[in-house]
């Protein structure tokens, strides 16, 4: 099956791909990434600027360029791999693709002709022309429980709201609504008050990617039995209730800190960096 994976150029997407691609290597994989989530803003709180540096610039601009792309070394390694190494190891085409709804981008997606699109943290809102391309639809792994935590940084808001558990939701993208499509499955993990926001975000993908793998397996099994596309995956419609969150402002970030939470710690970054070859 031809699978187009949409992701973002951040460490959480990379971490998720390191767990996802080995489980999909029997398929024809294509990876396209956005360079950021949301519009570029110069007036972001300093804490969010620092988090962006940790999640993107430190890895993409400092660590990742230092890693070898020699295929033999990649294949022999059990370490985490950067985006280019993952593409080389799993014979996947990899490019940055912003402006997913532009005519140029739509033409590129049509050229790929994916059977299914899998989205993990992709930075753009997909609209009808892109959504209609894959035969079996677009599946998005949202790092929050739906419909209660639509939008961005769902994990941050769940921790701020004193939730005891956080989770991921695999759902269809059926229109340009944000995190509104039918729910396929969900995962859950306990909150650990001794760990940071970043630790929780990364931890979500250990079970979250399995939701995607299971969904792909169901699609393959049912298409092999020549079932029609509209019965491949059972979904639960989302309630019209719930909450939508955007990036936190200075007040929310201050409250987060006052409650004893940290966005990330030096040990988070060092331990993660040590896992790359």
What confidence score (pLDDT) does residue 57 get?
94
Rounded CA-CA distance 239/253 in Å is 29
Among 37, 232, 6, residue whose Cα is nearest residue 117: 6
What confidence score (pLDDT) does residue 226 get?
57
- The 8-class DSSP code of residue 2 comes to E
Low-confidence ranges of the chain (pLDDT < 50): none
For 75-106, letters b (16+ CB in 10 Å) and e give eeeeebbbbebbbbbbebebeebeebbeeebb
Pairing mode of beta strands 244-245, 2-8: unpaired
What confidence score (pLDDT) does residue 112 get?
97
What confidence score (pLDDT) does residue 116 get?
97
> What is the residue whose two structure tokens read 């079932």?
227
What confidence score (pLDDT) does residue 247 get?
95
Rounded CA-CA distance 240/180 in Å is 9
Task: Give the E-state strand segments of the chain in sequence order.
Answer: 2-8, 28-34, 93-96, 116-120, 138-142, 150-151, 165-173, 183-190, 244-245
Give me the domain span that covers residue 107. 2-273
What confidence score (pLDDT) does residue 78 get?
82
- What are the CA-CA distances from residue 23 to residues 58, 246, 258 (Å)? 28, 32, 40
Among 63, 101, 98, 99, residue whose Cα is nearest residue 83: 63
What confidence score (pLDDT) does residue 228 get?
52
What confidence score (pLDDT) does residue 136 get?
94
Rounded CA-CA distance 69/114 in Å is 26
**Could you report the per-residue pLDDT of 170-210, keeping only the tens digit for each?**
999 999 989 999 999 999 999 999 999 999 999 999 999 99
What confidence score (pLDDT) does residue 186 get?
98
Number of domains in the chain: 1
- What are the CA-CA distances from residue 187 to residues 74, 130, 194 (Å)? 31, 27, 21
CATH number of the domain bearing residue 50 = 3.40.50.170
What confidence score (pLDDT) does residue 75 get?
72
């Amino acid at each position: 099956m031809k699978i187009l994976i949409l992701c973002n150029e951040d460490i959480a997407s990379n971490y998720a791909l390191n767990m996802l691609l080995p489980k999909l290597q029997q398929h024809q994989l294509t990876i396209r990434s956005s360079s950021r989530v949301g519009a570029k803003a110069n007036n972001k709180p300093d804490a969010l600027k620092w988090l962006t540096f940790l999640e993107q610039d430190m890895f993409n601009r400092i660590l990742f360029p230092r890693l070898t792309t020699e295929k033999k070394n990649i294949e022999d390694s059990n370490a985490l791999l950067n985006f280019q190494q993952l593409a080389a190891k799993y014979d996947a085409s990899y490019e940055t693709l912003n402006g997913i709804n532009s005519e140029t981008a739509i033409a590129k997606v049509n050229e790929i002709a994916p059977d299914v699109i899998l989205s993990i943290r992709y930075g753009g809102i997909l609209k009808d022309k892109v959504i209609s391309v894959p035969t079996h639809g677009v599946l998005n792994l949202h790092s929050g429980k739906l419909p209660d935590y639509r939008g961005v940084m769902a994990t941050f808001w769940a921790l701020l709201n004193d939730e005891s558990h956080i989770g991921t939701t695999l759902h269809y993208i059926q229109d340009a609504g944000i995190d509104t499509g039918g729910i396929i499955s969900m995962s859950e993990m306990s909150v650990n008050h001794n760990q940071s926001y970043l630790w929780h975000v990364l931890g979500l993908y250990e079970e979250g990617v399995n939701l995607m793998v299971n969904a792909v397996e169901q699609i393959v099994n049912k298409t092999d039995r020549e079932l029609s596309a509209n019965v491949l995956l059972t979904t639960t419609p989302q309630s019209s209730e719930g909450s939508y969150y955007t990036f936190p402002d200075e007040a929310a970030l201050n409250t987060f800190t006052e409650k004893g939470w940290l966005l990330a710690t030096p040990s988070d970054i060092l331990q993660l960096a040590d896992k790359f070859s």
